[in-house]
Amino acid sequence: MSDLIKKDESAAGHAQCMLNRRQFLMYTGTTAAAVSTISLNLFPGEAQAKARVVGYPRQHIGKLSQLKENIPLDFNYPDENRNSQCFVVKMDGAKAGGGVGPQRDVVAFSYLCTHQGGFMNGKYQAVGEHRVLGQCPLHLSTYDLTRHGIIVSGQAYQSIPQVLLELDGDDIYAVGVMGLLFGRNQNLMESQES
Amino acid sequence: MSSKYYLPEDKAPLPPVNAEVLTTCCDYCIVACGYKVYRWPVGTADGGPQAHENALKVSFPSGPLQAWVAPTQHNVVMHDGRPHNVVILPDKEAQAVNLTGDSSIRGGCIAQKVYNPNKPTRDRLMSPMIRINGTLQPVSWDMALDVATEVMKHVVEKHGANAYGMKTYLYQYIENTYAISKFALRHMNTANFAFHDTPSDVTSTPGFRDAGFENFAPSYQDWAAAETLLIAGTDPYETKTILFNQFIKPAIDAGQKTVWLNVRETAGIAYAKSRGNALFLQIDPGTDTPVLGAILRVILENGWEDKEWIEKWVNNQWASDSGFGQGTRNTPWQWRTTWGQFQTKGFEDYKQWNLAQKEYDPKEAAKIANIDPTDIYKAAEMLAKPKADGSRVKASFAIEKGFYWSNNTGNTNAVATLATVCGAGGRPGQMVGRLGGHQRGYQSGGAYPRNKSPQKHAGRRRQSMDCDRYFYAGHTRFAHVIGTTWIQAMCGSAGLNAKFEEQVTNNPHQVRSFDKQEIIDTLKARADSGGTVVLNQEIYLRDPIGSRFADIVLPAATWGESDFIRANGERRIRLYSKFYDAPGDAKPDWWIMAELGKRMGFDGFDWKDANQVCEESSRFSRTGPKAYHMLKVAAHAEGKTLHEKLRELGTTGIQGPTFYNYKTGELLGSKRLHDTTLTPEQMEAEGRSMATNMVNKKGTHFNSQSGKVNIQKHPWSLFSDYWEWMKPKGDELWHTNGRINEVWQSGFDDVDRRAYIAQRWPENWTEIHPDDAAARGIESGDQLMLYSERVPNLRQSIKAQDDTDFSFASRLKNGWIELNKAAVTAVAIVTPHVKKGTLYSYYLNTNQPSNALQGRVPDQISGNYSFKMGVARVKKIGESKYKSEFRSMSFAPRNIV
């Protein structure tokens, strides 16, 4: 667990964006609440952007020791319904926003392009120091997996949703999603939300 | 340390079944995808996830290509004074343009464009303002308009019409541009008039104009129907996304060959290459003319020209002269096409000329362009080598700003000639045109008074006024600026900024009074003392034109806030519906012009609504490529207004020029211009020649006196002296600039006011090749200084006696070029997708305008700027935070397939 709170000495700003669920909750000071929100100022004086971390299940998705470098492991999250296809990958030492593990290079994302829902299975690519998902076979969007899934080039309406991870010893848990999964009007479908 | 970023939301409301639905189109790029606006009052129920519970008639979660609402597609607006939800989605039922409901990242997030006091659009201009004691302060419309018009009247009376200068957008809707140009050209009658993207009122593509090609003659299907498509100076995936996604990409997938001329390899080019049928000529900036000339040489030497087409459709000298007699040849296309520098006696004459030019030897051309000469031969084969059965390849030719804003006249002449030799220009799948920048929203309300321009080339060759130079000279006493930053958007922008400071801020006559008459007197005294008074119509306060220089600011209403019409890159005209209340007191520009016009005492400015302006303008459109007059005729026949009729046509609209069959009541569009496959019999049978229908020559022929194509010379020497002078010396690199997909040229909306895009592109940036970066110790994420002491600025010379007086070499020798310094900062992106030896920057970050480095020397023939031509030295000045944080920007290359 010490990995989770260890700050990155080489870059002061790095740790700040290494959001995981624990830190989300620590920010809000409501660790016990099932529903919490985190507010961040984007532009001074703006109304605050809210990200919900609402009752996401804590789901075991694999073991760190089983992950092979640059080989994605597929799982479904936050449920088994439509549009829940996700993957976790260890990016061979490429540090990432939201990355866990000793090298902060383990990340998880949705497979569905947030432009028109293209399925990007098989589109994880390590190119030099870069780690991208894409091009999407439908309209060629690519995403930067070291930067919370931000668009590199393309047409998507938002970053590729990032699955928030926790590492407990060797066990990797999915604990939340940042961003709306393609095709859903809310990530947690009514029937699952309780 | 903290930086701008957003946390994505994880839910979005669905429109309910009873949501109102209005159609519009995207406000941004030329393609103009069709959109639907779903509107329902805040406080009433949202739609549910089952298909019967929402207006999209889709069950959620939805599948690939089905409707979906991303959080960035929802907003809250005021409508009839009450808050309403709006969800703005690409039209899933679109019958044209964005088939399948596709959209770009820009249009896809357009719901974030609308005014919302709780979002980053909160700083929309709400009230007219006058600068008093250095501060812009809200005043009434009456006061602002009275002050503006009293000063305008004085300036024109005392200093002449040209002392009133207008700098305006060319594109922001028919109703507005008609009112604006009616005011400035017909009534003020000033020659000091230029659009947002050029210092003079000139054609963007002189070579097309002179050959006889309209810029937007092709339909989007034509680009798809070509067997070989040459694309120069753009990657349409980046800047005309849906044209690529819905037309060109499927064609590439089906085997279309593509030939690209570009300095950088972006996603669309990379994709085409990955399909195995693309040829990428990664040329150095400004070298297209030698490359195209050499491709032509190879075609000519092999006899691969389209002999039948040339025989039938190319002018000989007599035909290119016909109609002129010995009379005036004083409009630019007339003097250019009859000037020996360009005019030929026909194809054979052109051929002899080409074969005699040493730079069109493929080896020489390849050396200039810094490419492999064998690629020139390959390109010629792909475009023109007859197939095994002897039939011809259907080739089309598409260009955009990277091409025509480097060597404007030479490049456009060369591609027009190449297209003609390949048999393109007037047949399905064999067309030539621009792919486009902004949408086509200009309808002139008056003619440019060319005779009032002081500039002319040798002989009687009158040129439009270079308004930037006129301003530099201190002649512009009243600057009326509408919807453009002017300063940063022009070349050598640092010098222009300094001149504005001198003319406006540093002038002793500054308003210190709250009394209307004293304000008027002060501003008149400013103008009389040699200073400049600035009036700015805008939607946001822009720096510096609004925030630092404007004396009067008038708040404009825009997309979604008034009904407007406009055409796209295949002349498709649609209605852009008003769907919410404009912020504060903001008014559409046509209304502002009407109020100014009435106060000036001009007749014909008493419009009651946008439709009245549109209907008045329609008859002036009849000779143009997007003629919409017959829409009005059809509308009136049905007892409707033009806007009402167009609203019925939804996101499909109609392609201009429009025709009306009086017998059947059918409204007809035009798929393409210059359609040589159409016969008069067909036209008559469809009712296109009845009554007030106007069958223009350009519908079935070309824009020349004879209706045939002028095949023109494209002398490299007109540009090569500038190019050689500019070519990087010492440790300089080429510095060029352009758009980027995620931002395009809508930075005021997306990069400034959309969290998602601001996170992707938080600052100015420049792309540098890994070899150039390594040599300078630069890594991705480093903060750079781009600087130059060689920014040429043409300051003098308005009349040429000899043909060579306006050449760069002569101007330099005569001391008419001033060398300026400029510097901008940028974040480094080290990437192999940009050509070695070339820096590529975003074209217009208003805080760090890369145009400051680009030479302010307009094309000597056409008057356009060579925006793409510049050099810079580069050094690391530190590290940006993006180098070490993992949240914003991305340094991944754009050509990963």
CATH code at position B771: 2.40.40.20
- Count the alpha carbons within 13 Å of B864 in the hemisphere toward its beta carbon: 25
Assess if residue B891 is contained within a domain.
no
Residue with the larger pLDDT of the pair B820 and A37:
B820
Residues B499 and B567 in one domain: yes
Query: DSSP string of B829-853?
Result: EE-TTBPTTEEEEES--TTS-GGGG
Q: What dihedral do alpha carbons B797, B801, B804, B805 form, nearest 10°?
A: -20
Residues B747 and B670 in one domain: no
Q: Which of B247, B258, B260, B240 is nearest to B569 (CA)?
A: B240
Inter-residue contact A135 to A141 (CB < 8 Å)? yes
Inter-residue contact B433 to B776 (CB < 8 Å)? no
What whole-number distance in Å separates Cα of residue B90 and Cα of residue B740? 21
| Record: contact B7-A16, CB cut-off 8 A | no
Inter-residue contact B87 to B109 (CB < 8 Å)? no
| Record: contact A51-B8, CB cut-off 8 A | yes
pLDDT of the residue at B459 = 87
pLDDT digit string (tens) for A114-173?
Answer: 999 999 999 999 999 999 999 999 999 999 999 999 999 999 999 999 999 999 999 999
Number of CB atoms found within 10 A of residue B106's CB: 26
pLDDT of the residue at B745 = 79
Residues B393 and B279 in one domain: yes
| Record: contact A144-B742, CB cut-off 8 A | no
Q: Residue B507 gets which letter from DSSP?
A: S
pLDDT of the residue at A31 = 33
Q: Which of A125, A157, A189 sits opposite B72 (nearest CB)?
A: A157
Query: DSSP string of B704-715?
Result: SSSSSBPP----
Give, for B643, the enclosing helix (H) or strand (E).
helix B642-648
Amino acid at position B537, single letter: Q
What whole-number distance in Å separates Cα of residue B310 and Cα of residue B709? 9
Of B383, B400, B434, which residue constitutes the final position of a domain?
B434
Assess if residue B615 is contained within a domain.
no
List of chain A residues whose C-beta atoms are within 8 Å of the C-beta of residue B1: 12-13, 16
Angle between helices B174-181 and B610-617 (to 10 degrees): 70
What whole-number distance in Å separates Cα of residue B622 and Cα of residue B648? 22
What whole-number distance in Å separates Cα of residue B397 and Cα of residue B420? 10
Set out the domains of chain A in order of their start, with CATH numbers: 58-178 (2.102.10.10)
Measure the N-to-C terminal CA separation of chain A; round to a whole number of Å: 29
What whole-number distance in Å separates Cα of residue B808 and Cα of residue B521? 43
List of chain A residues whose C-beta atoms are within 8 Å of the C-beta of residue B238: 153
Residues B308 and B373 in one domain: yes
Q: Where are the beta strands (DSSP E) in B843-897?
A: 871-879
Residue with the larger pLDDT of the pair A54 and B385:
B385
Residues B785 and B729 in one domain: yes
pLDDT of the residue at A20 = 45
| Record: contact B103-A118, CB cut-off 8 A | no
Residues B690 and B586 in one domain: no
Assess if residue B608 is contained within a domain.
no
Assess if residue B134 is contained within a domain.
yes
Q: What dihedral do alpha carbons B892, B893, B894, B897 form, nearest 10°?
A: -90
Whose tokens are 């700083």? That residue is B123
CA distance B5 to chain A (A): 6
pLDDT of the residue at B820 = 94
pLDDT of the residue at B330 = 77
List of chain B residues whose C-beta atoms are within 8 Å of the C-beta of residue A138: 64-65
Give, for B288, the enclosing helix (H) or strand (E).
helix B288-302
Biggest CA–CA distance in chain A, Å, is 46
Inter-residue contact B91 to B562 (CB < 8 Å)? no
C-alpha dihedral sign at B424, B427, B432, B435: negative
CA distance A88 to chain B (A): 18
Q: List the single best residue of B26, B68, B112, B246 to mutate versus A (max A Cβ within 10 A).
A: B68
Inter-residue contact A168 to A144 (CB < 8 Å)? no
List of chain A residues whose C-beta atoms are within 8 Å of the C-beta of residue B245: 139-140, 155
What whole-number distance in Å separates Cα of residue A181 and Cα of residue A116? 11
Phi, psi of B101 (to 5 degrees): 75, 30
Give, for B784, the enclosing helix (H) or strand (E).
strand B782-794
Quick one: tokens of B232?
Answer: 């120069």
Give residue B414's Cα distance to chain centre.
Answer: 21
Quick one: tokens of B474?
Answer: 């201190």
3-state helix, strand, coil in chain B (%, to 5): 35, 20, 45
List of chain B residues whose C-beta atoms are within 8 Å of the C-beta of residue A76: none
pLDDT of the residue at B5 = 64
| Record: contact B741-A51, CB cut-off 8 A | no
Chain A CA closest to residue B3:
A42
CA distance A117 to chain B (A): 4
For the cut 90, the answer to whether the pLDDT of residue A25 exceeds it is no
Q: Which residue stretches of chain B have pLDDT < 50?
A: 1
SS (H, E, C) B189-240: CCCCEEECCCCCCCCCCHHHHHHCCCCCCCCHHHHHHCCEEEEECCCHHHHC
Active site residues of A: 115, 139
* Helix, strand or coil, per DSSP, at residue B420: helix
Quick one: tokens of B886?
Answer: 């993992």
Quick one: tokens of B875?
Answer: 């050094």
| Record: contact B105-A155, CB cut-off 8 A | yes
Q: Which of A18, A43, A150 sits opposite B890 (nearest CB)?
A: A150
| Record: contact B1-A12, CB cut-off 8 A | yes
Inter-residue contact B672 to B218 (CB < 8 Å)? yes
Whose tokens are 């602002």? That residue is B144
Assess if residue B2 is contained within a domain.
no
Q: Which of B13, B68, B892 sits opposite A183 (nearest CB)?
A: B68
| Record: contact A155-B7, CB cut-off 8 A | no
Assess if residue B892 is contained within a domain.
no
Q: Which of B1, B271, B742 sits opposite A140 (nearest CB)?
A: B271
What whole-number distance in Å separates Cα of residue B761 and Cα of residue B767? 13
What whole-number distance in Å separates Cα of residue B576 and Cα of residue B37? 11
pLDDT of the residue at A52 = 46
List of chain B residues whose C-beta atoms are within 8 Å of the C-beta of residue A14: 884-886
pLDDT of the residue at B4 = 59
pLDDT of the residue at B430 = 98
**Strand bridging mode A124-127 / B533-538:** unpaired
Number of CB atoms found within 10 A of residue B373's CB: 16
Burial class of residue A23 in the structure, from the number of CB atoms within 10 Å of its CB (0-12 exposed, 13-18 middle, 19+ buried): middle
Chain A CA closest to residue B110:
A157
Residues B366 and B238 in one domain: yes
What whole-number distance in Å separates Cα of residue B748 and Cα of residue B539? 10
Q: Which of A47, A117, A184 sits opposite B64 (nearest CB)?
A: A117
Q: Which of B1, B25, B540, B29 is nearest to B244 (CA)?
A: B29
Q: Which residues contact B151 (CB under 8 A, 6 or more apart)?
A: B478, B520, B523, B524, B527, B533
Quick one: tokens of B727?
Answer: 């070519």
What whole-number distance in Å separates Cα of residue B537 and Cα of residue B565? 20
Band of pLDDT at residue A104, cut at 50, 70 and 90? very high
pLDDT of the residue at B795 = 86
DSSP β-bridge partners for residue B260: B231, B280
Inter-residue contact B185 to B448 (CB < 8 Å)? yes
pLDDT of the residue at B322 = 77
What whole-number distance in Å separates Cα of residue B273 and Cα of residue B612? 50
Query: DSSP string of B23-50?
Result: EEE-SSBTT--EEEEEEEEBTBPPBPSS
What whole-number distance in Å separates Cα of residue B602 and Cα of residue B188? 9
Residues B256 and B382 in one domain: yes
Q: List the single best residue of B756, B890, B891 to mutate versus A (max A Cβ within 10 A).
A: B890
List of chain A residues whose C-beta atoms are within 8 Å of the C-beta of residue B896: 125, 127, 130, 132, 134-135, 142, 152
pTM, two decimal places:
0.94
CATH code at position B55: 2.60.40.4210
Chain A CA closest to residue B244:
A139
Q: Which of A89, A98, A95 is nearest to A17 (CA)?
A: A98
CA distance B196 to chain A (A): 27
Residues B457 and B490 in one domain: yes
Q: Which of B73, B758, B896 sits opposite A142 (nearest CB)?
A: B896
| Record: contact B8-A13, CB cut-off 8 A | no
Give residue B142's Cα distance to chain centre.
Answer: 34
List of chain A residues whose C-beta atoms are within 8 Å of the C-beta of residue B120: 42-43, 46
Q: How many domains does chain B have?
A: 5
Residues B183 and B223 in one domain: no
Of B56, B87, B114, which residue constitutes the final position of a domain?
B114
Residues B244 and B275 in one domain: yes
Residues B379 and B494 in one domain: no
pLDDT of the residue at B66 = 96
Which residue range is the domain that position B552 belongs to?
129-204+447-571+582-600
Assess if residue B550 is contained within a domain.
yes
List of chain B residues whose C-beta atoms are within 8 Å of the C-beta of residue A159: 8, 756
* Helix, strand or coil, per DSSP, at residue B750: helix
| Record: contact A185-B109, CB cut-off 8 A | no
* Helix, strand or coil, per DSSP, at residue B731: coil
Angle between helices B288-302 and B362-369 (to 10 degrees): 160
| Record: contact B105-A156, CB cut-off 8 A | yes
Assess if residue B4 is contained within a domain.
no
Query: DSSP string of A109-124?
Result: EESB-TTT--B-TT-E
Chain B CA closest to residue A149:
B887
For the cut 60, the answer to whether the pLDDT of residue A113 exceeds it is yes
